[in-house]
Amino acid sequence: MLREELTKLNIVEINRALQNKQFSVKEITESYLQAIDHSNLNAFISVNKQALKMAEELDQNIGEAKNNVLYGIPLAVKDIILVKDLKATAASQMLKNYIAPYTATVVERLEKEGMLVIGKTNCDEFAMGASNEHSAFGPVLNPHDQTRVSGGSSGGSAVAVAASLAPAALGSDTGGSIRQPAAFCGIVGLKPSYGRISRFGSIAMASSLDQIGPMAKSVEDVAYLLKAMAGVDKKDATSSHKAVPNYPKLIKESDPRQLVIGVPKEYFSDQIDPEIKKAIEEKIKFLENNDFQIKEVSLPSAKYALAVYYLLMPAEVSSNLARFDGLLYGLADQENLALDDWYKTVRSGGFSAEVKRRIMLGTYILSAGYYDAYYKQAQKVRTLIKEDFKKVFADVDVLLTPVTPTPAFKLGEKLDDPLQMYLADIFTVGANVAGICGLSLPIAKTKNNLPIGLQLLANSFEEEKILSLGYFLENNQ
């Protein structure tokens, strides 16, 4: 009975039920843990064996739930984000037995609010992938159709929320890795502005692109999570000193009709699935009928965003993953090997084909003869893309686009064609390249009952705009 009730509730509603003593933190934690144990979706790599004990301790201070919406709420954490004494595998054989020695800042902040980590979610290895098929622990299955992908790389976190295995989850977004799986699984996912949230305690993939973000069933839930997570962190020099707004209050009190919405023509090409295009066009008409000002805009450099991303990202991957050499981190071979043989044994046995592909590509891009031709040029075009967004946001407040060109595709459909797989990121990478914020919001379903997502983009540190518009759309569908 409790399990059935929890599938219908978001964070705010669960908190209200806790306050009214309809059930305890221990009871809901136990229900989620049982659901994880019985699930065949492969969303979790490990569970927190101390979760029930932590829940009992939270029950002793349940009065605090009256002033804190996040109190007593179980949290799923992507397995590239560290939680002390829990495994942090990055879904890789390289770290299959690694136990985190400390907790990431974002998790510390949420635990301080009274949330408890119930487990670590499956993902593409070292967050490299768009389908969650590149995991050493097997693919995560889409709860709407188990023959289809969950999206990547934060597919496990998306499925945890969509299948009610957890009411909230943390993911990371390097080129769309929160927004794309959120769209495929029919939940809300937020990629905050670069610097809005500390990255300390997250296993780095591409340091100038990575951003941790929240995933939940509603925009309001995401707003509460963001408020608790955001803010400067002395342990992360890239985190911003900008003040953190009261996002939950703002989205309820502000009038989104004051926002000017831009529709970038470059995002509405023939590559989009007709059902997705129709659903988004209907949403644009709905906004026009509700007195929103809609403008067509242009981002002429947007067509280069995918190419820029797949030059900069592998270069940073090559640098960041150099540390996994079997000495400080990674698999350690006990044989008495020469240095060259040691590296070959450790790195060939620990990394999957996709990770090796990106490391080799990045090493090539950064090599002496090609640095100027590829990496340096990509950085110049990155500046052009940033300037495009800057110009557009001088005229409009929010951009409205598709999240993905297609609904969730079949398992194995694109595994043999990496270029086709990379195209799944075509509408999301621009936000990471420019460092702006983006929200994925479910708006409809296809005739095959697959979720369709809408993407809202806003300028850096203007998350309240996309949350406000998302909240309006969510509550007027």
Q: Is 186 left (phi over 0), alpha (psi -120 to 50) or beta?
A: left
Structure tokens at 465: 């705009």
* DSSP classification of residue 339: H
Where b means 16+ CB within 10 Å and e means fewer, 63-94 reads eebeebbbbbbbbbbbbbbbbeebbbbbbbbb
Structure tokens at 398: 């929010």
* Dihedral angle sign, alpha carbons of residues 392, 393, 394, 398: positive
Q: Any bridge partners for residue 378, and if so which?
A: none
- Pure H helices in 155-246: 155-162, 179-185, 219-229
Q: Does a structural domain hold residue 258? A: no
- Give Rg (Cα) of the chain: 21
Q: Any bridge partners for residue 262, and if so which?
A: 295, 399
Q: For residue 102, what are the domain limits?
A: 2-251
Q: Does a structural domain hold residue 66? A: yes
351, 359 in Cβ contact below 8 A? yes
Q: Does a structural domain hold residue 119? A: yes
pLDDT of residue 137: 97
pTM of the predicted protein model: 0.96
Long-range CB contact pairs, 300-305, < 8 A, 24+: 300/266, 300/388, 301/381, 301/384, 301/385, 301/387, 301/388, 302/264, 302/266, 302/267, 302/385, 302/388, 302/430, 303/266, 304/381, 304/384, 304/385, 305/385, 305/426, 305/429, 305/430, 305/433
Long-range CB contact pairs, 236-244, < 8 A, 24+: 236/105, 236/198, 236/199, 236/200, 238/194, 238/195, 238/199, 238/207, 239/195, 239/196, 239/197, 239/198, 239/199, 239/200, 240/193, 240/195, 240/196, 240/461, 242/195, 242/196, 242/461
Catalytic residue numbers read 78, 153, 177
Rounded CA-CA distance 207/238 in Å is 9
pLDDT of residue 335: 65
399, 297 in Cβ contact below 8 A? yes
Rounded CA-CA distance 386/225 in Å is 27
Q: Write the pLDDT tens digit of every residue in 139-197.
A: 999 999 999 999 999 999 999 999 999 999 999 999 999 999 999 999 999 999 999 99
Structure tokens at 135: 């995991």
Give, for all 477 residues of the chain, the pLDDT tens digit: 799 999 999 999 999 999 999 999 999 999 999 999 999 999 999 999 999 999 999 999 998 888 899 999 999 999 999 999 999 999 999 999 999 999 999 999 999 999 999 999 999 999 999 999 999 999 999 999 999 999 999 999 999 999 999 999 999 999 999 999 999 999 999 999 999 999 999 999 999 999 999 999 999 999 999 999 999 999 999 999 999 999 999 999 999 999 999 999 999 987 899 999 999 999 999 999 999 999 999 999 989 999 999 999 999 999 999 888 877 777 776 567 787 787 777 777 788 899 999 999 999 999 988 999 999 999 999 999 999 999 999 999 999 999 999 999 999 999 888 878 888 889 999 999 999 999 999 999 999 999 999 999 999 999 999 999 999 999 997
- Pure H helices in 230-304: 247-253, 274-289
- Pure H helices in 127-178: 155-162
The number of residues in the chain equals: 477
- Residue 169: give its domain's CATH number: 3.90.1300.10
Q: Does a structural domain hold residue 382? A: no
C-alpha dist (Å) from residue 209 to 172, 195, 317, 393:
10, 10, 11, 20
Q: Does a structural domain hold residue 63? A: yes
Q: Any bridge partners for residue 149, and if so which?
A: 141
168, 14 in Cβ contact below 8 A? no
Q: Which amino acid is at 391?
A: K
- Pure H helices in 137-273: 155-162, 179-185, 219-229, 247-253
Q: Does a structural domain hold residue 95? A: yes
Q: Specify the 3-state DSSP secondary structure of 113.
A: coil
Q: Does a structural domain hold residue 344? A: no
Q: Does a structural domain hold residue 176? A: yes
* Total domain count, the chain: 1
CA 239 to chain centre: 18
Rounded CA-CA distance 144/157 in Å is 15
State residue 400 phi and psi, 5-degree precision: -115, 125
